[in-house]
Each structure stands twice: as structure tokens, then as C-alpha cells.
A and B are shown apart, each in its own frame.
Chain A
């Protein structure tokens, strides 16, 4: 049944009185703007639902970041349609954009923090700005998020004095304080050492499970992608090769995918 807290447009009523949940993100024949070359391969048809974990993998310089920017609604598609939260990006009004950015967190590896505010203030700013909860509750949640995601970070320190990986983790905490329904991360493990990356991966998996949050990740960790993804989007320079489960990807006859998996799983 439709949830009273979710907008009606998320739900499709059918003639037989059954109701199905709409995808959070839907791409229909969408093509991303890719810097440096013109993509002439097959357009992307893609549905992403709450609670799913989707990984984008593929060779370097294949335009994965461009695809994830389009999927996250950060950029309009070059052609085709992208709908997020049930509405086409091209028909978004100002309120829709604010709703999108507060409910679908998009975090790049080099996301900058506010340099004049310390780590705790950075995490708190979006919560206080959007006033989704009381300031005291927001402070408690900010403390909890920092201790879970960035336990090695002093919350009273300015970003300039933090390491790159600490800044990244604070950026993730800052996005999560808004309790988004989708978290879209571009290369989240690249800055982290092995131990920290493992902890961060477990956090993301648990967070998605506990909160029924959609997580989409551009990952260079193929092992993680194959083990934990509900679906994997394999992107190469000229084609969206496949959008399937990890098992289907492993069993694929596609020479590019086989070559990529062989190379990356043996190194």
C-alpha cells in the first residue's frame, strides 16, 4: 500500500487494484554528456529502487563519472529522459530541485567542505538550513554520524587541517544528515586505505539495509561490486555493455566484460 509519507506519484495503481512502487531513478534511452568524446553506443535504460545497491564499473576513462552525474540528476542527459522521484528532470521546478538534492545525495571524491566552518559545523549546516528537525536532535545525529563514518576526525577542526580522506568522510556525513533516500557516490573508496575502506563499505551496506536507502556507486573495487551489488552497470567507452546482476555479469558472453573482469580480479 502507498506509504502516507511518500508522494502519490511514486506509486502506480493498476486495474486489478494492485500497487507497485516506482523506481527512485528511471532512465529511458538516456545518453550522458561525456567530456572528450561523443558517445554513440546504446542509450541507457535503467531503473533503481529503494534499498538496492548498484555499482557502475568499467575501464578507466570510459565516462562512468558522466553517467553517474546524469543518473544523480546533477546533469541533464544529452538525449533521452531521466526521472528521479517520479518526475522528469526537464520538468523540475525550483522546489523539485531542492527536494532532489536533499533526498538524493551526490558525493564526488573531491567534494569540498565549507572552509570557514569546522567539521561538526559542516555536517550541521544542511540540517539547520533545511530545518528538518530540532537543532538539538541534529547535533546529536551529527555527532553520531561523525563517530560512525569518521571516528578518527576531530569535529572541531577546520577542513584545511584534515586529511583528504577525512574531508571526504565528513562530506559523506554532511550528506547523510539530511537522511536521503538515495546515496550516489563517485569513486568513494579511492581515497581510503584498505582498513578504512572496508569499514566504510560495511557502513554503507548496513546503512542501506537499515534505512532502505538506494546506493549507487562508481567503484574501482570490482570484488566489492560483484559481492554486494544487486545490479551492476558495466560501462565501456563506446557502449553501455550490460545492466544486470553480478551473476549474470560473470556469466556474460561479452568479450569486453570478460576481459575486464579477468584483468581486474587477477590483479
Chain B
């Protein structure tokens, strides 16, 4: 793709396309899927088992608010993780793609690297940060809710984990679509 667009002389458009698609589209979405499968399911199983074994009731008996003690750190942690994973992911995708294209196709493609830095406008960075924090927050909130929905049976833990994964995916799809529409409009 880089080769085709560069051949028609649309380098600026290429950079804008790459940055927008990878930073605001693919990057957050792929990172969210990684986090849903890894962190989201872990939160459900962790909180579900804590509820099942009475650990949560034990804390509540001591006047400890579960939302501030167990849920809030997970919300903050997952939001930061989502942002960090997306930063790594987009950096690797952008840099490796251009380096590979420069190495395999034409060394002129290396010049795109320098123009990418200037494509990161304050608006793009703000949207990037907000979108990723929102994704992470939603994944942790849904997973925590499902984890704490476990009541008395161990069989509820995998059931709630499945529910959480599906709910997270649906929510991420919807929010991704909404944000895309907002950007377009």
C-alpha cells in the first residue's frame, strides 16, 4: 500500500492515513481484544472466586468498600494498560511497516518516518489517549461487574467470564463505531 500511494506522490495523505487508521482504529481495537481476553477474563475469575470463597464478605465485614478497594484499582490499572499496550502496538506497526517497506521496496520510504512525527497533532493525541482510556475503563467495569455477579456456585465463574468477554466485545464494537462517527461528523 505504501508503495502504491508513494508512487502516485501522495506521501502526505499516506502519512495521515497510516496515523489515523493505526492510531485511532486498528491499534486501540487490537489492544482492546488482547486486554479483554487476558485482563478482562482474569478480573472476572479473580473477583468471582473472591466472592465465592467469602473473601469479599470478609472485607465488607470490616467496613471496606469493595468498589474503592477492589474495583477502582482495576479500572485505573486496565485503562493505563490499554493505553500502554496501544502505544507499543502502534509504534511497532508504524515503524516496522515503514522499515520493512524501505528495506524491501525502496529506500525513499524511510523518509515517511520523519513525516509521521509531525502528523501527531494535539487533537490526534488527545483522541488517542481518551479512546484508549475509555476502552480500558469499559473492559474493567464490565469484567468487575460480571465477576461480582457470581453468587454461590463455582460453575458461575466460567459462565460470567464468557458473558464478560461477549459484553466487552459488543461494547468495544459499539463505542469504536460511535467514536468513528463522531470523528467523521
Segment with Cβ contacts to B, from A77-85, A122-130, A195-203, A206-214: A122-130
- In the complex, whether B111 has a CB less than 8 A from a CB of chain A is no
Q: A129 to nearest B CB, angstroms?
A: 5
- In the complex, whether A174 has a CB less than 8 A from a CB of chain B is yes
Size bracket, chain A contacts: 20 to 34
The residue in B50, B58, B65 that gathers the most chain A C-beta atoms within 10 A of its C-beta is B58
Total inter-chain residue pairs, C-beta < 8 Å: 51
- In the complex, whether B97 has a CB less than 8 A from a CB of chain A is no
Are B62 and A174 interface neighbours, CB within 8 A?
yes
Are B64 and A112 interface neighbours, CB within 8 A?
no
Are A113 and B55 interface neighbours, CB within 8 A?
yes
List, in ascending order, chain A residues with CB within 8 A of B60's CB: 101
A113 to B64 CA separation, bound complex (whole angstroms): 13
Q: A216 to nearest B CB, angstroms?
A: 15
Indicate with 1 or 0, residue by residue over B21-55, a CB within 8 angstroms of chain A CB atoms: 00000000000000000000000000000100111
* Residue on B nearest A94 in the bound complex, by CB: B65
Are A115 and B55 interface neighbours, CB within 8 A?
yes
Q: A167 to nearest B CB, angstroms?
A: 11
* Residue on B nearest A103 in the bound complex, by CB: B63
- In the complex, whether A102 has a CB less than 8 A from a CB of chain B is yes
A99 to B61 CA separation, bound complex (whole angstroms): 11
Indicate with 1 or 0, residue by residue over A45-59, a CB within 8 angstroms of chain B CB atoms: 000000000000000
The residue in A114, A115, A126, A171 that gathers the most chain B C-beta atoms within 10 A of its C-beta is A114
A125's partner among B53, B54, B64, B65 (CB-CB below 8 A) is B64
A129 to B70 CA separation, bound complex (whole angstroms): 12
Are B64 and A126 interface neighbours, CB within 8 A?
yes
Are B53 and A102 interface neighbours, CB within 8 A?
no
List, in ascending order, chain B residues with CB within 8 A of A100's CB: 63
- In the complex, whether B76 has a CB less than 8 A from a CB of chain A is no
* Residue on A nearest B65 in the bound complex, by CB: A98
List, in ascending order, chain B residues with CB within 8 A of A110's CB: 54
List, in ascending order, chain A residues with CB within 8 A of B53's CB: 112, 115
List, in ascending order, chain A residues with CB within 8 A of B13's CB: none
- In the complex, whether A257 has a CB less than 8 A from a CB of chain B is no
Q: B86 to nearest A CB, angstroms?
A: 28
Given contacts A115-B50, A129-B69, contact A178 B55 (CB under 8 A): no
A13 to B62 CA separation, bound complex (whole angstroms): 32
Are B54 and A112 interface neighbours, CB within 8 A?
yes
A175 to B62 CA separation, bound complex (whole angstroms): 7
- In the complex, whether B59 has a CB less than 8 A from a CB of chain A is yes
Indicate with 1 or 0, residue by residue over A13-24, a CB within 8 angstroms of chain B CB atoms: 000000000000
* Residue on B nearest A74 in the bound complex, by CB: B61
A100 to B62 CA separation, bound complex (whole angstroms): 9
CB-defined A-B contacts under 8 Å, sample of 21: A97-B63, A100-B63, A101-B60, A101-B62, A101-B63, A107-B61, A111-B61, A112-B54, A112-B57, A113-B58, A114-B50, A114-B59, A115-B50, A125-B59, A125-B62, A126-B64, A129-B62, A130-B64, A171-B58, A174-B62, A178-B63
Q: Which 9 A-B pairs have the closest CB atoms?
A: A101-B63, A112-B54, A102-B63, A126-B62, A98-B63, A112-B55, A112-B58, A112-B53, A111-B58
List 11 additional A-B contacts (Cβ < 8 Å) besides A112-B53, A175-B62: A106-B61, A110-B54, A111-B54, A111-B61, A112-B55, A113-B58, A114-B58, A115-B50, A125-B62, A129-B69, A178-B63
